[in-house]
Chain A
Amino acid sequence: MPALLPTENLLELLIAGIFTKNFLLVMFLGLCSFLGLTKDMSSSIGMSMAVTFVMGMASIITWPIFHFILVPFGLEFLQTICFILLIASFVQLVEFIIRKHQPALYRSLGIYLPLITTNCAVLGVVLLNAQQNYSYVGSVVYGISGGLGFGLVMLLASGIREKLLQRGVDMFGGFTGAFLVAALLSLIFVNYFGVIQF
């Protein structure tokens, strides 16, 4: 019976997801959205919320499939194809539901949903959950904290880029500027938060 309740330190998972193993800056997952959507604050907020939601939900959905179907029947090699199909169908379903029932929410969040299927942070977190063999609660906590870490960096970077663009530093509008902002932020994340140890 795979562990449902956490066998790992949840605080450690939370800190790892947000700071020490930040998805964007340390693990290099989800950079396409980072480059495309950090030009202005509002779209980066929308994307971060959508990503956090999908990462949490993806962990909730894929864990039982992996531990109750794939592992017992020796089908672990099918994990990639199953996970990506589950994520894609889930995103499609959510998009459909909120477009029909929550038009206001759809206008602010829904437009980012199709982008999420190909966001490697989502597939990355479920693959890591499976690889690290986290418990059910642990997987969900890791998924959500990964999303929060993603959001934190999106906000920081879009704030910096927006301010610099307003001041007329044109260079930061392009991809080169986005990479330089990422480099400086990741120096902080790697060197400063790198000292956190459990």
Chain B
Amino acid sequence: MTDRPSLLSEFTKGIIKNNPVFCLVLGICPTLAVTTSFENGLGMGLAFTFVLLGSNLFISLLRNQTPSIVRLPIFIVIIATFVTIIDIVLQAYLPPLYEALGIFVPLIVVNCIVIGRAEAYASKNPVLPSITDALGISVGYILVLMLIGGIRELLGTGKITFVMLWLLENGQIGFLELATLHIPIEPATVMILSPGAFFTIGSLMFMFKFMGKKMSERRG
């Protein structure tokens, strides 16, 4: 249980080796739909993290009480519960983000990453590794969402605003603007629209695969 190196490797494998988007090619729909800006990408990633952590924790806790024939309905109920919780919490505390993400928050319930981790990992492993696995995968997912959101915002509007989730001065939780970066190019609106999303992820995936190939060639 307290095997540190293995926990660390559980965590890091989700970021590069098992990156949910570029390597497992799962959870593509929200990756493209909500990444019109850095802020939305970060928000979606955090909502996703909450759901994956909660569902991995509970599925792992209940793994000996889950009859295998009704495994899927139980997974669905647990995941849907966390999805609904984050949905109503966002509606109350972060209405602008709730409006921006729209139906893609409830749609986390059919995100193949969540159900995939439940089936492949959390239902077979103890609590601590399951949570570590969830954290690693989530960090990998947030990084991809922020990357795609950042690229599309930068090329589509000519500027990018870095934000983080923080306690604002008015006592409410919200996005705190850290810095805004302008680039001197003509913004290409198509990057905000759907073709831009497909172009961005296609090119990124090509680079990711290409670099992976180069690295394994060098090593081997």
Contacts and interface: CB of A to CB of B under 8 A. Distances in A.
B109 interface: yes
B77 A35 contact: no
Contacts of B143: none
Contact of A123 (B28, B106, B202): B106
B165 interface: no
A32 B194 contact: no
Chain B interface secondary structure, helix, strand, loop or mixed? helix
A88 B84 contact: no
Interface string A19-58: 0000001111111100100000000000000000000000
Contacts, number: 104
B194 A85 contact: no
B115 A118 contact: yes
Contact of B194 (A78, A119, A186): A186
Range for the number of chain B residues in contact with chain A: 35 or more
A5 B84 CA distance: 30
Given A28-B33, A80-B109, A120-B110, 17 more contacts: A27-B33, A29-B29, A32-B26, A35-B25, A80-B80, A80-B83, A84-B80, A117-B110, A120-B29, A123-B107, A175-B25, A176-B206, A179-B199, A179-B202, A179-B205, A187-B195, A189-B194
Which 4 A-B residue pairs are closest in the complex by CB-CB distance? A179-B202, A183-B198, A28-B33, A81-B80
Interface of A: 25-32, 35, 77-81, 84-85, 88, 117-120, 123-124, 127-128, 131, 174-176, 179-180, 182-184, 186-187, 189-190
16 contacts: A25-B194, A28-B28, A28-B197, A80-B109, A81-B109, A85-B80, A118-B115, A120-B111, A124-B103, A124-B107, A182-B198, A183-B198, A183-B202, A186-B195, A187-B190, A190-B194
